[in-house]
Amino acid sequence: MTDTTATGRHLPDRLDNPVKSAVLSWESLLVLVALAIFIANSFASPYFLNEWSLSDMTFNFTEKALIALAMALVIITGEIDLSVASIIALASTMMGLALQAGADTPVLVAVGIGVGVLCGAFNGFLITGLKLPSIVVTIGTMSLFRGIAYIVLGDQSFKGYPASFSWFGQGYVFWVISFELVLFLVCAFIFYVVLHHTNFGRRVFAIGNNATAARFSGVRVDRIKFVLFCLTGLMSGIAAVLLTARLGSTRPSIAEGFELEAVTMVVLGGVSILGGSGTIIGVVLAALIMGLVTFGLGLLNVPGIVMSIFIGSLLIVVIALPILFRMWRQRKA
């Protein structure tokens, strides 16, 4: 966008994320922030250092973080998906309809995940097939998907999910380790391997750095983007299953605002919003930080809306600090 060649030895290429030139790597900075918040929390509230409290804390971020994993890949290619929360609403509504039709737990899960993938494929088709900007398409489908949920439900809600279904959102695999947390850790590992240790992952970075060059190097840009939007849909479908199971009900306003929190996690995790750089470890740490902040403030009886000030400030400060630091160093040199 603006001319950054004036900054000297920095090549005007996105691989050279300005953040990386800070003394600390982004991930170690995040670890420090997470530790600081953890310590602050344990001093601030006597209820914090308790295995069940910490277990509850993970429910604050697992569903959003699952989406953030896929969103990270989408953002690395230089696109964005703002429709994820609405996909949850639509998938949850369809699960509710299936429930009313007498569906059992396996069918409910299949419906939720299937609707998610279909929604993602619809986004992917509009973006790669019709060559439309992803931000506009997903603002549109954001209204469309949730709009359909409102048409079906109005001011009603679906309730009465079977106990075997609720287990996905409320069950524990072992001691205080919830199913949601295990699923998140498994998914995070898979995404880590795919993004950082496969050809597919390299191609994702290649597209984000220069889609045209990637295209001429034989990368099927549109196909990969399509797959990534389906993947975001899939993760949103999974999140819909978990969230619906945890809440035990479906309202059309379910998961409102998740899209912005997922994007915040991704950006806080060090993924460049312009595409081309980022790590899964960063996203996982950012998810943990957001979970710690909201839970810690919750223990201190800070209302949710005030927490959002912290999250919003965290996003801006964490991004602005390395930039300010770099400017200060350059002025000194």
Partner 1 sequence: MNRLLKTRELWLALGILAVIVLVTLRFPRFSQPGNLLTIFNDTSILMMLALGQMAVILTRSIDLSMASNLALTGMIVAMINAAAPGVPIPLLIAGSVVIGSALGAFNGILVWKLDIPPIVVTLGTLTIFRGLVFVISGGAWVNAAQMSQEFIQLQRGTFIGLPILSWFAIVVATLVYLLMTRTAAGRAFYAIGVNPTAAVYTGINVGRTKFLAFVLAGAIAGLCGYLWISRYVIASVEVAGGYELTIVAACVIGGVSIAGGIGTVAGALLGALFLGVVNNALPVIGVSPFWQMAISGAAILIAVVLNGRSERTKGRIILKKAEAA
Binder among 139, 176, 182, 221 for partner 1 (CB under 8 A): 139
To partner 1, the closest distance from the beta carbon of 222 in angstroms equals: 15
* Residue 118 lies near partner 1 (rule: CB under 8 A): no
Helices (H), the chain: 26-44, 51-59, 62-76, 84-100, 105-124, 134-153, 163-170, 179-197, 199-209, 211-216, 221-247, 258-268, 280-299, 304-332
- Choose which of 309, 328, 329, 330 interacts with partner 1 (CB under 8 A): 309
User: Which DSSP state fits 23?
Assistant: S
Of 303, 331, 332, 333, the one binding partner 1 (CB under 8 A) is 303
146 vs 203, beta carbon nearer partner 1: 146
C-alpha span between 112 and 287 (Å, rounded): 23
Q: Within 13 Å of residue 218, how many CA atoms lie on the same side as its CB?
A: 1
Residue range at the interface with partner 1 (CB under 8 A); choices 54-62, 172-180, 196-204, 320-328: 320-328
Q: Phi-psi bin for 172: left (phi > 0), alpha (psi -120 to 50), beta? A: beta
| CA atoms of 219 and 225, how far apart (whole Å) | 11
Q: Which of 316, 331, 332, 333 binds partner 1 (CB under 8 A)?
A: 316
51 in Cβ contact with 176 (< 8 Å): yes
Q: Which one of the spans 139-147, 169-177, 229-237, 287-295 is the region binding partner 1 (CB under 8 A)?
A: 139-147
Q: Which of residues 144-173 bind partner 1 (CB under 8 A)?
A: 144-148, 150-151, 153-155
For partner 1, the binding residues in 240-269 under the rule CB under 8 A are: 252, 256, 260, 263-264, 267
Q: 23 or 306: whose CB is closer to partner 1?
A: 306
Question: With binding defined as CB under 8 A, does residue 33 bind partner 1?
Answer: no
Residue 114 φ/ψ, nearest 5 degrees: -60, -45
User: Looking at the DSSP assignment, which residues form a beta bridge with residue 172?
Assistant: 178
3-state secondary structure at position 141: helix
Q: Comparing C-alpha atoms, which of 324, 209, 291, 304 is closest to residue 30? A: 291
Q: Which of 5, 102, 131, 333 binds partner 1 (CB under 8 A)?
A: 131
Residues at the site binding partner 1, with contacts judged by CB under 8 A: 1-4, 80, 82, 126, 130-133, 135-137, 139-148, 150-151, 153-155, 252, 256, 260, 263-264, 267, 273-274, 303, 305-309, 311-313, 315-316, 319-320, 323-324
